[in-house]
């Protein structure tokens, strides 16, 4: 019940295209859903996050869509660029959960010219 399932495992997108990464969860106590971006040789870094009281959050080219009833959320990268090539992790944490994050398994994104 603590798992966050993430797909796809890897993704290749052409420059200018839309990258979509999906996550699903079971634990209804989760109430904060961040996405982390990791470049090779670096630690993961917080990219964007959403709470379940909104269905969408947009920051620049990055958008999180959230479907509370389906217990699913996704990351959309619009106008994907080669510099977006990285590994993306979805995560979730419950309210009062002591800041502990449950991470998805990661998606390796490659944006080709």
Give the C-alpha distances (Å, rounded to integers) separating 109 from 26, 46, 112: 25, 16, 10
Q: How far is the CB of 87 from other proteins (least distance, A)?
A: 9
Question: Using CB under 8 A, which of 5, 42, 58, 68 touches other proteins?
Answer: 42
Nearer to other proteins, 43 or 60 (CB): 43
| 21 binds other proteins per the rule CB under 8 A | no
94 three-state secondary structure: strand
DSSP code, position 8: -
Whether 107 contacts 10, CB under 8 Å: yes
The residue ranges of DSSP E strands in the chain, in sequence order, are 4-7, 10-14, 19-25, 30-38, 45-50, 56-59, 62-67, 72-77, 86-94, 102-103, 107-112
Q: Is there binding between residue 106 and other proteins (CB under 8 A)?
A: yes
Contact with other proteins (CB under 8 A): which of 45, 55, 67, 78? 45
**Candidate segments 13-21, 36-44, 53-61, 63-71, binder of other proteins by CB under 8 A:** 36-44
Q: Is 32 in the site for other proteins (CB under 8 A)?
A: yes
Point out which residues bind other proteins (CB under 8 A): 32-34, 41-46, 49, 89, 91-93, 95, 97-101, 103, 105-106
């Amino acid at each position: 019940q603590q798992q966050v399932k993430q797909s796809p495992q890897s993704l290749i997108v052409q420059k200018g295209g839309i990258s979509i990464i999906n996550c699903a969860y079971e634990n209804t106590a989760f109430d904060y859903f961040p996405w982390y971006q990791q470049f090779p040789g670096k630690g993961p870094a917080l990219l964007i996050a959403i709470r379940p009281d909104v269905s969408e959050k947009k920051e620049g080219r990055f958008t999180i869509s959230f479907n509370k009833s389906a217990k699913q959320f996704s990351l959309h990268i619009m106008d994907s660029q080669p510099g977006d090539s990285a590994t993306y992790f979805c995560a979730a944490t419950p309210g009062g959960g002591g800041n502990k994050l449950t991470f998805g398994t990661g998606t390796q994104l490659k944006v080709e010219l």
